[in-house]
Amino acid sequence: MIELIRKRRSIRSFTNQPLTEEQKALLAETLLRAPSSRNINPWEFVLVDDQALLAQLATAKQHGSEFLRGSALAVVICADETKSDVWVEDCSIAAILVQMTALSLGLGSCWAQIRKRQHDQQTTAEQFVQQQLGLPPQLRVAAIIGIGHPAEQRSPLAAAQLQQAKLHHNRYAISWNLIS
């Protein structure tokens, strides 16, 4: 896992090679194995591989969702907010897990933030995605993870680039340079 974590970077450019059914199944299995608070599993996942729909989702925001157009699969991470008050946390965990499984399969991925973002002046990005996918009103949309075969190489961060000042030892005032 640490080797995968060292390699992990957001990938926003993809080839047009589709995912195999096996890859899609492994990604789907990951989502359903995500831990959730009190095991409520408030999430719902819409897996989108329809190119026309991907092109629509790419316009969910004015900036930062364009890469979904070229992805092979977008995982729309939703949750029923009436089921859990910590649905955002539950969705975030499912999102990062599916990104790490994608990486383990040699795929690239990137997160597109939807919650708390605007589509345009009148419509939130969440409302836009809800309309596109026909989501019931209680289903909130946290994020969309775009996944595909990488068409860009991004260098891993060197250990020297890590922000060691963010590590503290027992008390905030005491820094801890653990990584050599």
Ligand X SMILES: Cc1cc2nc3c(=O)[nH]c(=O)nc-3n(C[C@H](O)[C@H](O)[C@H](O)COP(=O)(O)O)c2cc1C
Contact positions toward ligand X, by CB under 6 A?
Answer: 9-10, 12, 64, 110-113
Min CB(76)–ligand X separation in Å = 13
Closer of 112 and 129 to ligand X (Cβ): 112
Q: Could you tell me if 103 and 80 are in contact, meaning their C-beta atoms sit under 8 angstroms apart? A: no
Minimum distance between the CB of residue 112 and ligand X, rounded to whole angstroms?
4
Q: Nearest distance from residue 111's CB to ligand X, in Å?
A: 4
Helix (H) or strand (E) holding 111: strand 108-113
Label residue 93 left, alpha or beta by phi (over 0 means left) and psi (-120 to 50 means alpha): alpha
Q: How far apart are CA 119 and CA 23, in angstroms?
A: 31
Between CA 57 and CA 174 the distance in angstroms is 45
Instruction: In angstroms, give the least distance from the CB of 172 to ligand X.
Output: 23
Q: 68 or 137: whose CB is closer to ligand X?
A: 68
Nearer to ligand X, 106 or 136 (CB): 106
**Smaller CB distance to ligand X: residue 9 or 83?**
9
Distance between CA 61 and CA 74 in Å, rounded? 15
- Distance of alpha carbon 29 from alpha carbon 160, whole angstroms: 35
- Please say which residue, 80 or 111, places its beta carbon nearer to ligand X: 111
> Rounded to the nearest whole angstrom, what is the least distance from the CB of residue 44 to ligand X in the complex?
19
CB of 5 closer than 8 Å to CB of 96: no
